[in-house]
Copies of this chain bind each other. A is one copy, B any other.
Amino acid sequence: MKKLVNNPIKAVDEMIEGYVKAYPNYIKTVGENLRALVTAKETKENKVGVIIGGGAGHEPGFMGYIGTGFADGVPVGNIFASPPPDPILDITKEIDKGAGVIYLYGNYQGDIMNFGMAADLADLEADIRVETVRVTDDVVSAPKDRLEERRGIAGSFFVYKAAGAAADLGYSLDHVVRIANKANDSTRSMGVGLSPCSLPQTGEPSFELADHEMEIGLGVHGEPGLYKGEIRPAESIVNELMEHILADMPISRGEKVAVLVNGLGSTPQMELYIMFRSVAKILEDQGIIIYRSYVGNYLTSLEMGGCSVSLMKLDDELTTMIDHPADCAMFVQK
């Protein structure tokens, strides 16, 4: 696959150089370390620090979420690979304001190991209290009775936003953790893949699909989904995704949700809105109220084709978190 890169091995570092140059008011590195990014804004004393992260290749996740009301720091791994403990630890020390730090990331083995080590080191080396919430929104990645095995996909946007808002509101670490857990418990996602991406280093497709095939339930790194089959009309695909999501989610008529239809990288907005239209129709039919909508590329997989649907059920507390303004590079308004 053709790519606008220079040296493929340096793609992540060069991207970060570009990001930092594009948004110097939002993002800076810890020292000279391109893989340890923190907010360029002044952060409040005694605010809980919010660190989110994971591999590169999911842009605007996670760098784009750095800013007021969202994340304070983002360690960046290689493409689709967890960051090592060092930048996580450096960021933790940099952003701690005495109220402790929360780590938020998708439930993947590499991240669990590396963020876990960083948390231990933060305690040992700097006496910083770190709590962790892992996102597990992908309904097809494990059955309902093994939630702890589920992976995190685009619904993590909701969990990160809720935690970022809670921290910005001055809540304690325990309080932020409780809200992040509630946000995760209230969020379900499922995706469909149409075409693979390829790593700049290899140029090889991340998975195989025939010309008229899609994969229902595909993960964001190409993890196998439920099945491969002939591509069907958008409405039929949405029906299937929503059936799984709603069957997994305790929600009733009259309750409200935030909706995210997330593009995986190369899906035109036109198609995302056509998908959203069917999501909205199903929710209307079931008497579930759409409180807020997000449609676009929030958590991508390089140039993967396809999209995912995420719902977060909103009680009053989570509504307050969703309503809380976030000012970060991803949402630059001017």
State the A residues within 8 Å of B (CB).
2-7, 11-12, 14-19, 21-23, 56-57, 59-60, 64, 192, 194-195, 197, 211-212, 214, 231, 233-235, 237, 259, 265-277, 280, 290, 292-297, 300, 302-303, 305-307, 322-327, 331-334
Contacts and interface: CB of A to CB of B under 8 A. Distances in A.
Contact of A60 (B233, B235, B269): B269
A77 to B, nearest CB: 13
Nearest to A57: B270
Contacts of A296: 60
Contacts of A326: 333-334
Contact of A277 (B21, B211, B234): B21
A240 to B, nearest CB: 13
Given A2-B194, A333-B325, A18 B265 contact: no
Interface centre among A22, A192, A265, A333 (most CB of B within 10 A): A22
A251 to B, nearest CB: 19
B4 A234 contact: yes
Given A11-B274, A280-B21, A325-B334, A233 B297 contact: no
A305 B187 CA distance: 33
Nearest to A2: B194
A16 B274 CA distance: 8
Given A3-B271, A325-B334, 17 more contacts: A4-B192, A5-B274, A6-B234, A6-B235, A11-B270, A11-B274, A15-B270, A15-B274, A18-B275, A19-B273, A22-B276, A23-B293, A57-B268, A265-B268, A267-B303, A268-B300, A322-B334
A87 to B, nearest CB: 18
A111 to B, nearest CB: 19
A214 B3 CA distance: 10
